[in-house]
Amino acid sequence: MHGIADRLQAIQRRNFYQLAAEASHRGRYYHEYTMSVDVTRDSPTWQPPTEDAEDVVTEALRDLARWLYRQLEAEYDYLTSDEAIDEGIIVNEYTFTEGGRRFG
């Protein structure tokens, strides 16, 4: 996460902190390569972004998307694990019939 922030800060510094990025989704699926990133520079002299700005920002945002997906996947795996389900049943004091229906 810090590496992503460092890369974004470095590219901003090279562009005098004038960059803005807009990310949008394209396609049916959701992953880092369905993200379209448009990078602009708000320069008072109409100076364009540095040559590498769009590539650096796009790759940093894709890395962020990958990191977020890994966090969501880990949380999902935990919440659907036998351990978490057992804990939820015990904490909520659920009881079940022999046939598996909730009782009480």
Q: What is the pLDDT of residues 24-72, one digit of tens each?
A: 999 999 889 999 999 999 999 999 999 999 999 999 999 999 999 999 9
Residue 93 is assigned to a structural domain of this protein: no
pLDDT tens figures, 6-16:
999 999 999 99
Give yes or no for residue 77 having a pLDDT over 90: yes
**12 inside domain:** yes
- Would you say residue 60 lies in a domain? yes
Strand partners of residue 40: 20
Please state whether beta strands 95-96 and 102-103 pair in parallel, antiparallel, or not at all (unpaired): antiparallel
Average pLDDT value for residue range 71-83: 97
CA distance 61 to 10: 14
Q: What is the pLDDT, as a whole number, of residue 7? A: 98
- 99 within domain boundaries: no
**Domain housing 22:** 2-79
Phi-psi region of 93 (alpha: psi -120 to 50; beta: other; left: phi over 0): left
On whether residue 9 sits in a domain, the answer given is yes
Residue 25 lies in a domain: yes
Alpha helices in the chain (DSSP H): 2-14, 53-79, 82-91
Q: For residues 89 and 44, is the Cβ–Cβ distance under 8 A?
A: no
Taking the whole predicted model, whether its pTM rises above 0.75 is answered as yes
For residue 45, which of 21, 16, 22 has the smallest C-alpha distance? Answer: 16
pLDDT over 90 (residue 104): no
The answer to whether position 28 is within a domain reads yes
Q: Has residue 94 been placed in a domain?
A: no
Q: How many domains does the chain have?
A: 1
